[in-house]
Structure 1
Amino acid sequence: MMLDEVHGYVNELMSQAVYDSAEVLGTFLLSSMGASSNNAHLTPAVRVEYLVTYARALVGKGEHVRAIAYYRQALQNCEIHARKSAGAANRAFSALSSSSPFRSSGAGRRAEDDLLAEKEATIKFEVAKCHVALNSPRAALAELETVTSRYRTLPLLLTLAKLYRVNGYERAAGSTYRECLRLCPYAVEAWVALAELGVKSEDLASILSQHFPAERAAAVQQQQQQPLDLQSWISQFVSCHRLKRADEADKSVAALGGFIQTFPNNVHLMLELAQAHTVAGNYRDAVSCFQHVRAVDSACVSKMDHYAVALNATNNVVELNRLTHDLLRIDNRKPETWVAASLYWDSKGDRLRALSYVEKGLRLDDTLPMLHLLKGNLCLKLNRPDSAVSSFRKAQTLEPSISAFEGLAKAYAAFRKHKEALVTAREAVRLMPSSPRALLLLGSVYAKQGETRARAMKIFESVLRSNPNCKEAILAVIDIHVANRNLVAAEHILSKHLESNVNDDLHTRLAGIFVEGQKYGQAVEHYHIALSLNEANEEAATGLERLEKIMKGIDPDLLPDDEDE
């Protein structure tokens, strides 16, 4: 059987995804390549083709480490071919450089060299994809950086940009995404990435105008005549992602809601809206959006980590358990699956098991920011602030979200590193100047030091002026009054806010203030109100239990054995 025939059969099998048979047949192809009788007939270029074909069969089987080894052999044959080609060219020029036939053959060799260089770039791209599959982003980046710019295709550039971003090289990622748009302005993921990297709205508009000169006119046309104009759609799409990056949750929700009216049941937009609700703390709205997505696309795994967060925040353990089992059935190699599993066990109080599931997800794919955020929070609960700092930093590198900044500042505070926490909070405000959560973070860091509490109070009051019902700002103001032993002011402010903002956390905090002021009857009343609003409020349940002991004359800090004695 001729080698070319075997090669053809291997390719035919792979085109039908019959990788096991393709791999077995490929071994005969490689064995025949090694036979001395065939050596004279096989050029390095042909050897490259056979080795690449066999490596592709291994990739199809999921054997990425073996595939890399055969891709390396293919690259070695590329080098051999390049050396032979260079030697032949030198001999031709030395023989008779002025002869027209030699000029013609030289041009042919140059074309062949270009094809070989292009093939080499393609192989390196395949090697990089194997490294990505093996969760080795640094090795993948090192491989792609050796490909010269001339042979960087759009898929290669997009992968390179993602790898720059994963490895923390944001400036290089930004310039590479811009190069992607130069090749294809409809590469939507590049627009999204630039928005998420924090490129200013004016710069994004400038880039849009470069690729779509009529973009501004098209935006007007969209409103009047053409609701499906693609250029205007991209502009609006980028704007939604920029708002998400700036943590302007309310504006993001409004923009996405309007967008979905134009494109109903768009899974991507509905997922973005659900995530925006989750980030804003509107967990019930988020759950509703995610349920809508799953009704449209029941096998969707993307952003299900945020769905798990929303379910956990609403204490919906039954649905969280159901989601975990669904994701395990759909794809147990997706990191979102292990976020859901980890949150489920965290909700059951088994933090070590929850952490083990996070680690499992990270071994599969350490590029999902939520895994690092979850690991950081679990490490804080387990009193491991050093590991928490590392996790939040990684999350911040992958996606500089407000949650990453909050976690990092909290981890530094656990280390009593006030200066580092302050730097983190200021950076959050710099990147997200319109974000209430960023301002609250800065205020909370100031509030931890007695000499800067007045500055913290000004920040919290400014947040309340723009959002009078902001629970976090209300509680932060109360904490400062309590720290200053001004219980009357704290009681007055909370009572006033509860007139228009019924919230279990506010009732719990007011009950705690009444306990400190020894107004036990009123404290009991507000603890019961808090538990009637949210029976899963652990702070209210614990506070009520302690208060009942105090009212019985029992020290609430004594252990049960001490009480028996």
Structure 2
Amino acid sequence: SCPPTRDSQSARVQEGYVTWEEKGTLSAEADRGEAEADPPSSSRITGALLDWTATTRDDERPDLSPIQLQASELYEQKQYKSTEQLAHLDLAQQRRGLSTAVTLEILGDCATSLGSHRQAASLYREGAELIHGHYTRTSRRGTSQQACTTSWEAALRVKQARSLSHGTGTLIEATAMLERCFPHSTNRQRQRQPHALASLESCMLLGSLLQRTERKADAVVEFKFALLKNPYALEAIDQLARLGCNEAALLALVDEGLRDLVKSRLSKSKKEVDGMDEDDEPLIPLVEYSKAHANMYGNQMATALEHFNGLSAVYPTDPYIMMHRANILQEMGHVLESERSYRRLCALDQNWMASMDRYAHLLFQLRMSRKNAFMVRQGGFVHYQYSCHGGRERVHDEAYSIEDELAQLAQELLDLDDRRPEGWVALSLHHLTRDDHDKSLAFVDRAIALCQDHSYSHYLRGSILLSSQRPDHAVVSFYRANDLRKDIPSYEGLVESYLQANKFKEAICSAKEAISSAPRDARAITLVGLALAQAPATNQQEGGGKERAIRALRRAMKLDPGAPRPLFALVDLQAQEGSLASCVELLRNALDGGGKSNDVTDSTVNANHVVTWNMAHKAKLAEIYTLMESYDSALECYHTAISLNPQNGLASQGLERLEKIMKGLDPDSSMDEGEQQI
């Protein structure tokens, strides 16, 4: 075909369809009279202008002046003050126009790099308004008065919103501005469509802002748009799963995004698309990745663990997969294996910070569980109640020095970045081991101040308040944690807080909501049993609540035979009814099947959990024998539990109480043995 004429090239420029070669030819004929020009090199436009050369058409902005080119080179060398001063000199001698918008963008980038976010937002806004006014006057297209007219303006609006949200905290202002600049349209099927100039960056930023301003339904829409624009936007998959997008919907979005990506690529080579062939397979297992996240945030932990195990086999050193596996194992109660996963993650990257606050809580949980065995198998992020209120004597063994270990972890995290919440949470747990609730609460409040959307900080704050006998205040923190992420631990905190505050109706409602979130999770069903067991019976339903509680707890035991919490709750419930023989039978059966629990994942974990299982159940069985006045059997069980772990505070306190009873003393008296004998 014949080469395009200059007139046809000019028409293509006005329509926005111009290649680097054609644009170079036009600028050469206009400025230097040369026949053609090469595409501009990346070294000519650098630094502050690199980001918007990739997102804007070159015909939307004027050629850079020599001062602007020099300012870009200075910016690339990170000489922000010099760039700023040079740009201000350029701005002082310019006539107001599109060239001014270029200088304003350079100044805005300098202000962002120097941390002056409010000033940056003002500069970006002024530059975007200049561009919008110019193209609104010259464009013949029907556009909204406030919607972006060019991709250059769109890029500046995204920068303005990022500066507003990051530097000044005006989330609502940033959200409203982006919604005005990128309004949605509707297709013939009345489905919402993104703005023509909306980019992956703008969709992700707007989705994040909507999520932070509690507009979750609108945030889901924006993250869906982002995933359709690029199915490899893994953060969009994570956020959609976190916001409750189910597995089927997530897989459909990924599939549609992949097909659009293939069509876009093949359309450039002018090939017909009849489907995806072998060469169009995803670069990574997106289906497995989506299933893993959908099940994890859907509280289907066993299924999620299977998917992450499959991903781990393909990517054994991926830190995100290791982190999610460790989190799931911790929440499922596989404490020892979870600890090993966290340690492998720390060995892989010593500067890794994500989920290290959960690792700190696991250390707290694991060390305390060696003295109160019930905590190991309770699952979840165990509340600070020292299990069954066992003792916590200071142990000089280095293995039990959780104060030193947590202090070291907190110091390392704070040295890495004291503007993130993980280090302050670890420091809070460190003071929690010293029973210093005031300092612990102060440090977790610092973590929340740094990141108000950090769900684990709210959860830990609720746990501290609950252990401080402040259930009404704990409810607020647990509710916020549950609002950020509807996981079982936050439901556990809500139910326990309501029960401690004698709000039984709210406790039952929260427990039922937990079941709706995770219908086959033994922990959720256990919550219903606990709430029904402690709720007072009504005149119309005398005893009905107890029977329903027993059915719920037995169902939980059937789903997870290795979970001690429903077992111990059922034992306590039947002990209150006077069925001590049934309690002994339940505990004996549990001891016989303790080594076959669902919690066992390998031989090492099996050995540790069998010991832990025996410690907890032997101590509980001794309590029942004490109530039955079978003191010899109780004494034998206590000695067995202490021989397995001399630091078992639950067994030690029970044994001390039993010895007082056998001597005819009051075990609940505050007087010592000599005073009582007198």
- 1:42 pairs, out of 95, 108, 124, with 95
- Matches for 1:149-188 after TM superposition, within 5 Å: 149=183, 150=195, 151-188=197-234
CA gap 1:391/1:7 in 2 versus in 1, 3 angstroms: farther
CA gap 1:226/1:45 in 2 versus in 1, 3 angstroms: closer
**Offset at residue 280 of structure 1 (A):** 0.3
CA distance in 2 between counterparts of 1:231 and 1:452 reads 54
Q: Secondary structure at the match of 1:146?
A: helix
- Is this contact kept in 1: 2:161–2:175, CA < 8 A? yes
User: Given the alignment of the two structures, is residue 126 of structure 1 paired with residue 154 of structure 2, yes or no?
Assistant: no
Give the partner amino acid of 1:148.
F
| Stretch of structure 1 that moved more, 498-507 or 267-276 | 498-507
Q: Which residue matches 1:93?
A: none
- 1:324 pairs, out of 400, 410, 420, with 410
- 1:303 pairs, out of 340, 355, 379, with 355
CA gap 1:157/1:277 in 2 versus in 1, 3 angstroms: same
Q: Percent identity?
A: 25
- 2:332 pairs, out of 280, 283, 296, with 280
How high is the TM-score relative to the length of structure 1? 0.82
CA distance in 1 between counterparts of 2:164 and 2:364 reads 34
Give the partner amino acid of 1:529.
T
**Offset at residue 239 of structure 1 (A):** 1.0
- Matches for 1:71-220 after TM superposition, within 5 Å: 71-76=121-126, 78-79=128-129, 82=132, 89=137, 118-134=151-167, 136=169, 138-139=171-172, 140-149=174-183, 150=195, 151-212=197-258
**Offset at residue 482 of structure 1 (A):** 1.8
**Aligned-CA RMSD value:** 3.5
Q: Which residue matches 1:482?
A: 575
CA distance in 2 between counterparts of 1:227 and 1:546 reads 72
Give the partner amino acid of 1:350.
D
Q: Secondary structure at the match of 2:350?
A: coil
- Is this contact kept in 1: 2:478–2:494, CA < 8 A? yes
Q: Which residue matches 1:23?
A: 81
CA gap 1:477/1:347 in 2 versus in 1, 3 angstroms: same
**Offset at residue 532 of structure 1 (A):** 4.1
- Is this contact kept in 2: 1:45–1:78, CA < 8 A? no
Q: Which residue matches 2:522?
A: 436
Q: Which residue matches 1:237?
A: 289
CA gap 1:145/1:28 in 2 versus in 1, 3 angstroms: same
Q: Secondary structure at the match of 2:285?
A: helix
User: Given the alignment of the two structures, is residue 349 of structure 1 paired with residue 435 of structure 2, yes or no?
Assistant: yes
Give per-residue Cα distances to partners, 1:246-301, cap 9 Å, x unaligned: 32222322332222112222222111111110110111000111111222222111
**Offset at residue 378 of structure 1 (A):** 0.8
**Offset at residue 377 of structure 1 (A):** 0.6
The runs of 5 or more residues in structure 2 that have no matched partner are 1-63, 184-194, 262-276, 368-399, 538-543, 595-609
Give per-residue Cα distances to partners, 1:422-481, cap 9 Å, x unaligned: 221112111211222111122221221244121121122122223322222211211211
- Is this contact kept in 1: 2:121–2:163, CA < 8 A? no
Q: Which residue matches 1:542?
A: 653
Q: Which residue matches 1:98?
A: none
Q: Which residue matches 2:566?
A: 473
Give the partner amino acid of 2:456.
M
- Is this contact kept in 2: 1:373–1:392, CA < 8 A? yes
CA distance in 2 between counterparts of 1:192 and 1:300 reads 19
CA distance in 1 between counterparts of 2:585 and 2:147 reads 78
CA distance in 2 between counterparts of 1:9 and 1:544 reads 81
CA gap 1:6/1:519 in 2 versus in 1, 3 angstroms: farther
Q: Which residue matches 2:111?
A: 58
CA distance in 2 between counterparts of 1:474 and 1:227 reads 54
**Offset at residue 153 of structure 1 (A):** 1.7
Q: Which residue matches 1:289?
A: 341
- Is this contact kept in 2: 1:158–1:190, CA < 8 A? yes
The count of residues paired between Structure 1 and Structure 2 equals: 526
Give the partner amino acid of 2:238.
V
Give per-residue Cα distances to partners, 1:175-194, cap 9 Å, x unaligned: 22211122112212222222
- 1:69 pairs, out of 119, 134, 139, with 119
User: Given the alignment of the two structures, is residue 359 of structure 1 paired with residue 445 of structure 2, yes or no?
Assistant: yes
Q: Which residue matches 2:73?
A: 12
The structure that has the greater radius of gyration is: 2
- Is this contact kept in 2: 1:135–1:366, CA < 8 A? no
Q: Which residue matches 2:550?
A: 457
| Stretch of structure 1 that moved more, 197-206 or 484-493 | 197-206
CA gap 1:532/1:132 in 2 versus in 1, 3 angstroms: farther
CA distance in 2 between counterparts of 1:563 and 1:152 reads 81
- 2:623 pairs, out of 512, 523, 545, with 512
**Offset at residue 536 of structure 1 (A):** 5.1
| Stretch of structure 1 that moved more, 426-435 or 188-197 | 188-197
CA distance in 1 between counterparts of 2:637 and 2:134 reads 86
CA gap 1:275/1:132 in 2 versus in 1, 3 angstroms: farther
Q: Which residue matches 1:523?
A: 634
